[in-house]
Amino acid sequence: MSLQNQTNSNFPWDYQFGDENFQNEPWILNKGKEYVTIEKNLDNKGFFYLQKNEEKRLSLNALQTKSTYNQLMNFGYKLRINKI
């Protein structure tokens, strides 16, 4: 994995309840009318579901999810802030 994909060391799913930046699932990245939803895969620990708009949901491992998250951020997607 290139260094470009490792730019963000803290991911939304790394925070615990009570942390300043904690957000409930799902984590949604927006860019205009497009959005990508990230959720933990409860059936397969260590994996995440990613879904763009209403397309088919994919199951990716943690490393793939982190890389995809960083690429989306580099493409101009922004994390939607959910208030708890």
Domain borders along the chain are 3-74
Q: How many CB atoms lie within 10 A of CB 72?
A: 20
Residue 74 has pLDDT above 90, yes or no: yes
Which of the four pLDDT bands, split at 50, 70 and 90, describes residue 1?
A: very low
Q: How confident is residue 10, by pLDDT bands cut at 50, 70 and 90? A: confident
Q: What is the pLDDT of residue 5?
A: 46
> pTM (2 decimals)?
0.81
Q: How far is CA 53 from CA 4, 46, 50, 79, 84, in A?
A: 25, 23, 10, 15, 23
In this predicted structure, the answer to whether residue 9 has a pLDDT above a threshold of 80 is: no
